[in-house]
Amino acid sequence: MIGRSVLLSAALGAALTPLNSTMVAVALPALGEHFASPAAAVTVLVVSGYLIATLVLAVPAGSIADRIGYAGALTWGRWMFGAGTVIGAMAPTLSAVVIGRLLMAAGGALINPTAFALLRVSMPPEKRSRAFGTMGAVMAGAAAIGPGLGAWLTASVGWRSLFLINVPLLVGSWLLQPPALVPAERGTRTGFDWGGSMLIGAALLCVTFATRISAPLSYVVATSGAALLVLLVLHERRVEAPILNLSFFTSRGFVAGAGVIATQNLAMYSLLIQVPFLFGGAAIDSQLGLAIIAMTFTMAAASPLGGWLGEWVDVRVVVAAGGVLATAGVVGLTRLTSSALPSEIGMRLLLVGLGLGLSTGPANASAISAVPVHQSAMASATVSMLRYLGAICGTVILSLALAAGPAGTQLALWMFAAALAASVALGLALPPLPNARERGR
């Protein structure tokens, strides 16, 4: 019963970040009009600032959660997110909206890795795959419904309601959290790695901005980001309590599980952008839009199924099978022409969504279960960082492909298929997880 309550509490908290990353996008015109600000400035400050802050703060927040305890970290994350919600809802200026959003991002950065870590320490090992699959479904579903919910709230109540809608989720997460949680083993209590935090933050900022600016400045920024990552590795090898534990990358379970997440996200996010260019042209057909949405909802629906299968079937089979299905879907897209019917495109996208959904829960469970229990939040945050970096790599490939014309876009599809095929190999390299059927015998 405690495990179920933890799952519900963690899922409601973890849904906040993806929901608020997509929900506000449709309200940008209303915000710009209300504060008499250019659309570009509103987009950068309100949307990009939130996403970048979430990314930069994720790994330090995971380290903090491992140090102070997961129940306390989840509570602090909710308070920070709640404070940002109140500031945003009552904001008299655009600057106040931005401050509220940044505080929400900080709270979300603390909530998300903590939520996954709580599942790791409170759920029986043989049920973790299903729990992680459910979490993946909730987060994917929250991101998918965000634009529609945001449009409805903005039109019906106004843009301030986009902040207030977070209150019931925060309260529900708090009420569902059991009064006594299974305590996680505390990690080291030595000094916090401020140097590593600044290096990883600066490196991720450079990597992010390198994809948003044009050459030749983008090359300079990308090179700076790479240099900072090298400095980060050198620094983390010398400190006693690193912000990024490099020993994770010596674990087969973590490398394979995180690798599946990164390679599949490399393909997924770019595919969502590329499909309209390939088949929609200047005006996206409404049926094509529904096909793209169906892919995301199929991912969400299949995630619990993948987690459940991971309890009864070898996790390697489940993850590899998901990768094969997703690869087949992308290869199928390469065989279509620009005049393909939305139903033909939709069937292939549904195959991609099904495959990605099946892989999510078992891959996450494998990665986070492979590290010492007192470092679960740091491991979860590191997986999230690699997921984002995978998406960045995909968008870089896609931007170069779109610039090269039709031949380039076809090549990009094959590269995304290759990334998904790599996820199959990584899935086969996963170590086995505890099997519920075998335990019940």
Q: 244-431, superfamily in CATH?
A: MFS general substrate transporter like domains (1.20.1250.20)
Which tokens go with 99?
Answer: 């401050």
Q: Please, are residues 97 and 46 in contact by the beta-carbon 8 Å criterion?
A: yes
Binning pLDDT at 50, 70 and 90, where does residue 434 land?
A: low
Q: Provide the whole-model pTM.
A: 0.82
pLDDT per residue over 204-241, tens digit each? 888 887 777 777 787 888 888 889 989 988 988 888 88
Most confident of 87-96, 115-124, 370-379: 87-96
Picking from 7, 26, 312, the residue whose alpha carbon sits closest to that of residue 173 is: 7
Protein fold of 1-175: Growth Hormone; Chain: A; (1.20.1250)
Q: Residue 312, exposed/middle/buried by CB under 10 A (0-12, 13-18, 19+)? A: middle
288-309 as b/e: b if 16+ CB within 10 A: beebbbbbbbbbbbbbbbbbbb
pLDDT per residue over 33-75, tens digit each? 888 888 777 877 787 788 888 888 888 888 888 888 888 888 8
- What pLDDT score was predicted for residue 399? 76
179 Cβ contact partners less than 8 Å away, ≥ 6 residues apart: none
Binning pLDDT at 50, 70 and 90, where does residue 440 land?
A: very low
- What pLDDT score was predicted for residue 87? 94
Distance CA 345, CA 418 (A): 19
- What pLDDT score was predicted for residue 121? 82
Lowest-confidence region among 140-149, 321-330, 360-369, 371-380: 140-149
